[in-house]
């Protein structure tokens, strides 16, 4: 469902997505999921490295500053 609001008149229209909009929505959902997976992988790798080094995130920041 898509909501369109005309700010000048205050008219609110709700309608179903058309095929192109549905296709774009699916593409966007896949991209968001990929970004989340990438961020999670980076976070996991960072935590593993810090654990391997035996230091905290704050200590790493201090060393790199």
- The region that residue 22 occupies, defined by phi over 0 for left and psi between -120 and 50 for alpha, beta otherwise, is alpha
Q: How confident is the model at residue 59 (pLDDT cuts 50, 70, 90)?
A: very high
Q: Which helix (H) or strand (E) holds 65?
A: none
Question: pTM for this structure?
Answer: 0.64
- Residue spans per domain, the chain: 2-64
Tokens for 50? 């810090």
Going by C-alpha positions, the residue among 63, 37, 38 that lies closest to residue 50 is 63
pLDDT tens-digit readout, 13-41: 999 999 999 999 999 999 999 999 999 99
């Amino acid at each position: 469902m898509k909501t369109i609001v005309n700010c000048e008149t205050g008219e609110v229209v709700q309608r179903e997505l058309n095929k192109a909009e549905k296709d774009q929505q699916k593409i966007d959902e896949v991209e968001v999921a990929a970004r989340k997976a990438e961020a999670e992988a980076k976070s996991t790798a960072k935590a593993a490295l810090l654990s391997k080094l035996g230091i905290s995130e704050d200590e790493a920041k201090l060393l790199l500053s």
